[in-house]
């Protein structure tokens, strides 16, 4: 099976702009989670979607949002970008109905200037 794919891999945006990141989970996986990775804060949970519904949400401001489509693909949106949003954004998928193994994609490296 193909792994989790994320697009784009790299992105440079200007402060105040918005950005949309995309994630395609492993075939058959219905749960998609998003994480932010920074040198200072480490890996932090953003939110998780299952069957197009947000099941869990981390402690991030409302500028961070997401959605999931009927084919389980997910998008994450960040509006009004701030310099501190520069990070590696990781998507992880799992079957969703049994087991807890989450498999991560390669991430999208977002740089805000």
Q: Helix, strand or coil for residue 57?
A: strand
Query: What is d(CA 73, CA 111) in angstroms, rounded to the nearest whole number?
Result: 23
Query: What is d(CA 29, CA 93) in angstroms, rounded to the nearest whole number?
Result: 6
- Is residue 66 a contact point for other proteins (CB under 8 A)? no
Q: Tell me how far, at minimum, the Cβ of 16 lies from other proteins, in Å.
A: 28
CA end-to-end distance (rounded Å), the chain = 37
- Is residue 100 a contact point for other proteins (CB under 8 A)? yes
Nearer to other proteins, 13 or 104 (CB): 104
Binding residues for other proteins, rule CB under 8 A, total 24
Q: What are the residues binding other proteins (CB under 8 A)?
A: 4, 31, 33, 35, 42-45, 48, 50, 55-56, 58, 90, 92, 94, 100-107
């Amino acid at each position: 099976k193909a792994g989790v794919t994320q697009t784009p891999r790299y992105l440079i945006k200007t402060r105040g702009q918005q950005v949309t990141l995309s994630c395609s989970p492993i075939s058959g996986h219905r749960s998609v989670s998003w994480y932010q990775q920074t040198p200072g804060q480490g890996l932090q949970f953003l939110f998780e979607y299952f069957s197009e519904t947000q099941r869990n949400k981390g402690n991030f401001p409302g500028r961070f949002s997401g959605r999931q489509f009927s084919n389980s693909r997910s998008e994450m949106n960040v509006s009004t970008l701030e310099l501190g949003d520069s990070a590696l954004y990781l998507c992880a998928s799992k079957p969703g109905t049994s087991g807890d193994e989450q498999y991560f994609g390669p991430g999208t490296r977002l740089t805000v200037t």
